[in-house]
Structure 1
Amino acid sequence: MMHRRELLSGLAAAGLLAATGARADERPRVAITIDDFRFEDGPLISGDTRHHGILDALYFERIKAAGFVTGKHVGSAEARAHLESWAGSGHFVANHTFSHAYYGGAEPGDLGADIDRAADLIADLPTWRPWFRFPYLAEGRTAESRDLMRAVLDSRRLMNGHVTIDASDWYVNQRLLARLEKEPNADVMPYGAYLVRHLLDRAAFYDGLARAVLGRSPAHTLLIHHNLTTALFLPMVLKAFRDSGWVLIDADEAFADPVFASRPDVAPCSHSLIHQLAKADGRFGDRLRYPGEDGPYEAPAMDALGL
């Protein structure tokens, strides 16, 4: 009998090829990027176990991920030790500001100071890279504020560490935490199955959109978070991507793709880089939604499944 996960992976692979028109020899590539490192204890597992569970999953697949670190969560000696273990395993460390403020508002604040404060905590790590990711993927409400934000990065010789495959793993995690608060012994595996299905669906969407906009499949960066669902289900996620025809690559290989030098002329400027490029192109409005990803898109399906 086919295992449920194998069935989901097979269906996703067929859907990916159909959606993108890709030939079997045009396998899409994806790197793992993880935002918002946090190390406090939580339901089911400790912060230490969560972190090492993520490291173990990446080690098993022999890939090097990028960690976009929010400074306010990593000021303790314990957090520093975890970041050193991350870097010591060969994974990359990059900047996600100190405060995780929203820079897409009417008064975005001092991005440069926020970047510099985080850099003081991470720039000495051996695998630090000059990559920066905007909190909430928001880099300016207007063209003027967007260009000011980009100038801040240029002055620090930082590259925008764009996401190409956006998703709502944070929302699945939020729903799981709420369930565990009410039912500490609840079965967590249905949340893993949903997460796998969701991430494969969004990956197929953004790869199909990229092929339409760019005429090719770029090296992708998948956004997930340093949370419980990643710790529990990253092995399932990575296996599902491989089984669905994706090639898992290191983050530095992904960010070497020339697509990451793109500066789409859009305002407000936010969302996945692929979403931005499609919006700037002007031909793909019927494929785009605003926001690109959010919890309310997933709520009806999760409600129907009792998750």
Structure 2
Amino acid sequence: MNKLIAILIFFVFASSYSQETKPQLSITIDDPNTESSGNMTWLEKDDAILEALKKYDLQAALFISGKRINSAEGNILLSRWSEAGHMLCNHSFSHSYYHSQKQTLESYQNDFMKCDSIINKFTGFTKLFRFPFLKEGNTTEKRDGFRKFLSDNGYRQGYATIDASDWYIDKRIIDTLKSTPGIDITPFKEYFISHIYSRAMYYDSLAVQLTGRHIKHTLLLHHNFINASFLGELLIHFKKNGWELINASDAFKDEVFTKEPDILPAGESIIWALAKETGKYESLLRYPGEDSEYEEIPLNNFLKTYYK
């Protein structure tokens, strides 16, 4: 009951503030790749995502895991995004889990530089780094050591303020299309848009509680079939609900992206991490911040109302 009361107070406060100002949203896209997905070739998928961004004159930040684009086709993909004016940012080469005992500070630094060597030749190259899985170090040595390494190399962190599980919904829609080709995927679209928007409202409300204002948000999405299919409609939904769409380069100028929360394990959305650091929002936080385990049952129940 106490947790429910805290959540209600939290959203009442945030919603009263939100009526006075307009929340702002930018798009960041992780893990560009040259794999076909659903009924799309990689090029069709890439075209669709780029076109959705172009329609709203939006510059996105593309966080690149080197192993996924280390090919001739990958070079074409990066050229397309760079020439379209988007930011090309580092997401490591191997997309390894930094909190694993197998990963040392040195091994992670080497992997980082391997990706840097691939992307630094493009005009859109931008010195922002996003940790795979949003895991920034499970020891003080790994956390602080990598923060210093980034600074020494002129990089800043490419935090996500709004995390979500688009990747899980994408996996489910791909599995469904494989088992039932030609099935109507409208239910997945509706759940996807509802899920992303609800997580955006949660993180924006939490940000207002923490900072007293609407920050400039960076939404974490992926270079996948579901975004190729529905990114445009997702952007429409945000605009219809009063959000302003902004460029990623503008969003990353917000003061919140200079913060380095003193928590262990480090990571998650920067808003989640800042809330965790205060020790005041435990009733509103879960760990990890986002994962498939939170979406499996709600998605199953939602789909049951359509597929009988």
Calculate the TM-score normalised by the size of structure 1: 0.92
Could you say which residue in structure 1 is the equivalent of 2:6?
A: none
Q: CA deviation at 1:25?
A: 4.0
Aligned CA distance change for structure 1 residues 31 and 98 (closer, same or farther; 3 Å): same
Q: Partner of 1:203 in structure 2?
A: 200
Matched, 1:42 2:37: yes
1:125 and 2:122 are equivalent in the alignment: yes
- Following the alignment from structure 1 to structure 2, what is the Cα–Cα distance between the partners of residues 221 and 159? 14
Name the residue aligned to 1:223. 220
Do the aligned partners of 2:14 and 2:208 also contact (CA within 8 Å) in 1? no
Q: Distance in 2 between matches of 1:112 and 1:130?
A: 15
Aligned residue identity for 2:177: L
**Separation (CA, whole Å) in 2 of partners of 1:271 and 1:156:** 23
Q: Secondary structure at the match of 1:139?
A: strand
Q: Which residue of 2 aligns with 1:87?
A: 82
Which 5+ residue runs of structure 2 have no aligned equivalent?
1-10
- SS of aligned partner of 1:210: helix
Aligned to 2:135: 138
- Provide the aligned length of Structure 1 versus Structure 2: 293
Distance 1:284 1:59, change over 3 A: same
- The residue type paired with residue 111 of structure 2 is D
SS of alignment partner, residue 21 of structure 1: helix
Q: For the residues of structure 1 that align with 2:37 and 2:283, how far apart are their CA atoms?
A: 41
Is 1:33 matched with 2:33?
no
Q: Is the 8 A contact 2:14 2:209 kept in 1?
A: no
Worse-matched range after superposition: 104-113 or 87-96: 104-113
Please list, as runs of the form range in 1=range in 2, the aligned pairs for 1:253-264 lying within 5 A after superposition: 253-264=250-261
Structure-1 separation of matches of 2:30 and 2:79: 16
SS in 1 for 2:28: strand
Aligned with 1:181 (options 175, 178, 181): 178
Please state how far the C-alpha of 1:18 moved relative to its aligned partner.
7.5
Root mean square deviation of aligned Cα: 1.5
Instruction: Report the Cα distance in structure 2 between the residues aligned to 1:107 and 1:151, rounded to whole angstroms.
Output: 21
Range 270-279 or range 17-26, more displaced: 17-26
* TM-score, with structure 2 as normaliser: 0.92
Residue 98 of structure 2, aligned match among 66, 88, 103 = 103
- Rounded to whole Å, the distance in 1 between the matches of 2:257 and 2:282 is 22
1:22 corresponds in structure 2 to 17
Task: Give the share of equivalent positions with the same residue, in percent.
Answer: 38
Q: Distance in 2 between matches of 1:284 and 1:118?
A: 36
Residue 266 of structure 2 aligns to a residue whose secondary structure is coil
DSSP-derived class of the 2:17 partner:
coil
Structure 2 Cα separation of the partners of residues 61 and 181 of structure 1: 32
Inter-partner Cα distance in structure 2 for 1:25 and 1:133: 32
